[in-house]
Structure 1
Amino acid sequence: MSRNESAPPRPQLVNWEIAASTAASLTPAGPTMKPAEIARAVENIRRLADDSVAHVHAISRLDAARDLRDSELLVIDRASWSRANAHSFRTLLEPALDQLAASRPEVMRSASLALGGTLTGVQLGTILAFLSSKVLGQYDPFVPSRHGQGGRLMLVAPNMIAVERELNVDPSDFRLWVCLHEQTHRVQFAAAPWLRDHMTSHIGELTSGLMDKADSLSERLGAAVKNLASAAPRSRDAAVETREGPRDGGVLSMLQGPEDKARLSHLTAVMSLLEGHANVVMDGVDGSIVPSVKTIRRRFNARGTSRGPLEKLIRQLMGLDAKMRQYSDGSRFVRRVVSQTGMDGFNAVWESAAYLPTEQEIHAPDEWIDRMSLRRHG
Structure 2
Amino acid sequence: MGLYESVRAVTTASGDGPVDWSAVADAAKASTDPGSIALTAEEEAAYAEDVRDARDRVRSVGAVEFDLPEVVEIQNRHHWIDANVATFERVMRPLEEQVTMFPGASRVVNTGTMSVALAFLGNNVLGQYDPLLLAEGDDHALYFVHPNIEKVADALDTDFDRFRRWIAFHEVAHAAEFGAAPWLSEHLESTMEGAVEALGEGSLDRDALQGLDTTMTAVEGYAELVMDRAFDDEYADLREKVEARRRGRGPLSRVMRRLLGLGMKRRQYERGKSFFDAVADERGVAGASAVWEAPENLPTDAELDDPTLWLARVAE
State the TM-score, normalized to the length of structure 2. Answer: 0.86
Which of residues 18, 25, 31 in structure 1 aligns to 2:30? 25
**Residue 71 of structure 1, CA deviation:** 3.9
1:169 partner amino acid: T
Partners of 2:292 and 2:282 lie apart in 1 by 17
**Residue 346 of structure 1, CA deviation:** 2.7
Q: Cα 1:212–1:75, aligned 2, differ >3 Å: closer, same or farther?
A: same
**Residue 321 of structure 1, CA deviation:** 1.4
2:128 partner amino acid: Q
Q: Residue in 2 aligned with 1:235? A: none
Which of residues 110, 115, 120 in structure 2 aligns to 1:120? 110
Q: Cα 1:196–1:361, aligned 2, differ >3 Å: closer, same or farther?
A: same
Q: What is the CA deviation profile of residues 63-117 of structure 1, one whole-angstrom value per residue up to 9, with x for unaligned ones?
A: 22xx33x54211101111111111011111112322x15xxxxx33x5x2x4433
Q: Residue in 2 aligned with 1:77? A: 76
1:61 matches 2:63: yes
Which of residues 30, 47, 54 in structure 2 aligns to 1:52? 54
Q: Residue in 2 aligned with 1:227? A: none
- 8 Å contact from structure 1 (residues 42, 157) kept in 2: no
Partners of 1:267 and 1:298 lie apart in 2 by 28
Q: What is the CA deviation profile of residues 181-232 of structure 1, one whole-angstrom value per residue up to 9, with x for unaligned ones?
A: 0111011111111111111121222233234337xxxxxxxxxxxxxxxxxx
Q: Unaligned stretches of 5+ in structure 2?
A: 1-14
Which of residues 313, 334, 337 in structure 1 aligns to 2:255? 313
The 3-state SS of whatever aligns with 2:73 is strand
Partners of 1:36 and 1:150 lie apart in 2 by 26
Larger radius of gyration between Structure 1 and Structure 2: 1
Identity of aligned residues (%): 30
Q: Cα 1:128–1:50, aligned 2, differ >3 Å: closer, same or farther?
A: same
Q: Residue in 2 aligned with 1:356? A: 298
Q: Cα 1:133–1:344, aligned 2, differ >3 Å: closer, same or farther?
A: same
Partners of 2:37 and 2:125 lie apart in 1 by 22
Q: Residue in 1 aligned with 2:123? A: 133
Q: How many correspondences in the alignment?
A: 302
- 8 Å contact from structure 1 (residues 71, 145) kept in 2: no
Partners of 1:75 and 1:285 lie apart in 2 by 22
Which of residues 297, 307, 323 in structure 1 aligns to 2:265? 323
1:295 matches 2:237: yes
Q: Residue in 1 aligned with 2:210? A: 265
1:141 partner amino acid: P
Partners of 1:56 and 1:144 lie apart in 2 by 27
**Pairing of 1:193-272 with structure 2 (within 5 A):** 193-213=182-202, 257=204, 259-260=205-206, 262-272=207-217
Partners of 1:369 and 1:139 lie apart in 2 by 28
- 8 Å contact from structure 1 (residues 23, 128) kept in 2: yes
Q: What is the CA deviation profile of residues 28-69 of structure 1, one whole-angstrom value per residue up to 9, with x for unaligned ones?
A: 454xx69456x65444323322222111212211022xx33x
Q: Residue in 1 aligned with 2:96? A: 97
- 8 Å contact from structure 1 (residues 139, 153) kept in 2: yes
Partners of 2:167 and 2:253 lie apart in 1 by 23
Q: What is the CA deviation profile of residues 242-296 of structure 1, one whole-angstrom value per residue up to 9, with x for unaligned ones?
A: xxxxxxxxxxxxxxx4x33x2222111111111111111111146xx22x53332
State the TM-score, normalized to the length of structure 1. Answer: 0.73
**Residue 138 of structure 1, CA deviation:** 0.9
The 3-state SS of whatever aligns with 2:229 is coil
The 3-state SS of whatever aligns with 1:202 is helix
Partners of 2:208 and 2:105 lie apart in 1 by 30
Q: Cα 1:187–1:144, aligned 2, differ >3 Å: closer, same or farther?
A: farther
Q: Residue in 2 aligned with 1:3? A: none
Partners of 1:213 and 1:193 lie apart in 2 by 32
Q: Cα 1:191–1:95, aligned 2, differ >3 Å: closer, same or farther?
A: same
1:280 partner amino acid: L
1:280 matches 2:282: no
- 8 Å contact from structure 1 (residues 23, 83) kept in 2: no
Partners of 2:246 and 2:108 lie apart in 1 by 34
Give the alignment's Cα RMSD to 1 decimal: 2.5
Partners of 1:157 and 1:187 lie apart in 2 by 22
